[in-house]
Structure 1
Amino acid sequence: MTDRDLSAARELVADLAVRAGRLQLERRDTLRVGAPKAHVNDVVSDVDIASERLIVDAVRSAFPADAVQAEEGHGHSGTSGWTWVIDPLDGTRNYISRTGPWSVCIALYHQEQARLAVVHDPAAGETFSAVDGGGALLGGEPITASAGPPLERALIGVSFQPNPATKERAAKVVRALLPVCGDIRRVPAALNLVYQAAGRLDGGVALDTNLWDIAAGALIAREAGVVLGGHGADFSTELTIGAAAPLWPTLADRVRAAL
């Protein structure tokens, strides 16, 4: 089955993302932090796990033949050719420490192509979404990338996994960009991408992410006119560079030279 009502699916998963975000807000004062995962800064809470279970259970009920890739381990294989890619809480460190934004991210792929994406910011009450070929939305309103100012006036988002090796790479990028750009903001990867989609950031760099960190945000950004790439012509989990079209070549050259 290659055809699906993607508009209806978007409504369903946008509602799921909002429900997960509401759970996160309600349980923030009572959350419990578990043992680190891949490294000491890779934290997870019981709220991450509960949020993922809420989303995955509903997706499996609605689309039982679809595969699921989910950050906290509630994935399973499927037979339909469709795959849901889920990060129930992108920005857990911000969420736990109350020092910045986080989001709920859900993407739907058919084979290797992203077809649907939702990123919900619980604290701001904002839901970004896109359907492949249908443009990007914030709530029900279309959004577009910034006009792409020169790098010296551009606001650039930076996202990276906080393991020692990636922090070394991120330091090189920040060192290369900070003296020559308008300013830098560190934000979780999904919000980095959707803020570019909404024109709040003029460009962004994400290093050593996982697919669930960027899958939803990347489709929304592209549908809003953001140019995405990495070491080659396409973005990757190792390196994602995004920017408004006029800015992208300059930003990409600076980032690639730094790495």
Structure 2
Amino acid sequence: MAAPGSPNHLHTAHDLAVRLARQAGELQVRERAGITAHTVKAHANDLVSHVDLASEALIVEGLRAAFPDDGVLGEEGGGVTGRSGRRWIVDPLDGTRNYLAAAGPWSVCIALQDGPTDDDLALAVVHDPVVGETFSAISGEGAFLDGVAVTASDRTRLGEAIAGLSFDPSAATKQLMVGVIGALLPEVGDIRRIPSALDLAYLACGRFDCAVLAGTKIWDVAAGMLLAREAGVVLGGIDGHPSPALILAAAPGLWEAFSTSNAAEHALGAAAALRGTGS
């Protein structure tokens, strides 16, 4: 195996993450029809099933076998502390409500963080099990969909833009997002609400032109943020920095209009309110 930190090491890690994400996706598709129960976590719309847990175990075991010194942060608690300074961030099933209800897309998300901040993301994989698409990126090498390079939209008119919307469906977040959605709808061509990782992946390949993501967790957005950056998407947020609390994102030609729009102002206000309440 290549030395840690080398380009070959990152490509080896990337290939493993792609393989594990696809294996977890196959498990999810296979098990979907047989799910009979799930558990509520933080609130009534925050769900977990045995498939979430099995998917995380599959991914974490695969990563730990190949990179035993790396840390792992898993949404469902499957994490371990590492010694290498690198950390894998895993959301085994982003969009569990969609998965359980057969009401929309979901994805498998794996990111590698090689440093202490969200800016130190080294690689990312977002896999859509239903359509079989795999988005991936290595820092400095661009974003790809099934191995083919992708870039952000070339849209320049905000009124024609497709905007992605992702947020935690807790009661507090939904109430604060009312103003964001009300401001966003008149300003853009249309909106789509999908899970966070696919929202950012769709920005990376130009399917969406801009997006607001609010009240998420790091495992929801880590892989998607690197994909978007590598594709040329502009990212901002509270104090100008994207974070799980708030990500404002847009294609380069839309960023100025989008970042100064009423929707962006409402989103910044909502995120500040959420942060103030601890939600």
Query: TM-score range with shorter-chain normalisation?
Result: over 0.9
| 1:3 corresponds to | 5
Overall identity of the aligned pairs, in %: 50
| 2:87 corresponds to | 83
The reply to whether residue 29 of structure 1 matches residue 36 of structure 2 is: no
Q: Distance in 2 between matches of 1:170 and 1:191?
A: 19
The reply to whether residue 218 of structure 1 matches residue 225 of structure 2 is: yes
Task: Spell out, residue by residue over 1:128-156, the C-alpha distance to the aligned partner (whole angstroms, 9 max, x if none).
Answer: 00000000000110000001231100000
1:1-259 → structure 2 map (5 Å cutoff)? 3-4=5-6, 5-111=9-115, 112=117, 113-254=120-261, 255-258=263-266, 259=269
Measured after TM superposition, the shift of residue 7 of structure 1 is 1.1
Measured after TM superposition, the shift of residue 98 of structure 1 is 0.5
Q: Distance in 1 between matches of 2:87 and 2:48?
A: 24
Task: Report the count of equivalent residues.
Answer: 259
Q: Which amino acid is the alignment partner of residue 264 of structure 2?
A: R
Measured after TM superposition, the shift of residue 32 of structure 1 is 3.8
Equivalent pair of 1:32/1:45 in contact (CA under 8 Å): no
Other structure's SS at 2:69 match: coil
Q: Distance in 2 between matches of 1:173 and 1:182?
A: 15
Equivalent pair of 2:233/2:252 in contact (CA under 8 Å): yes
Q: TM-score, normalised by structure 1?
A: 0.97
Measured after TM superposition, the shift of residue 170 of structure 1 is 1.8
Other structure's SS at 1:128 match: strand
Q: Once superposed, what is the RMSD of the aligned Cα atoms?
A: 1.1
Q: Distance in 2 between matches of 1:252 and 1:160?
A: 18
Other structure's SS at 1:175 match: helix
State which drifts further: 226-235 or 48-57. 226-235
Q: Distance in 2 between matches of 1:249 and 1:171?
A: 23
More helix per residue:
2
Q: Distance in 2 between matches of 1:11 and 1:244?
A: 28
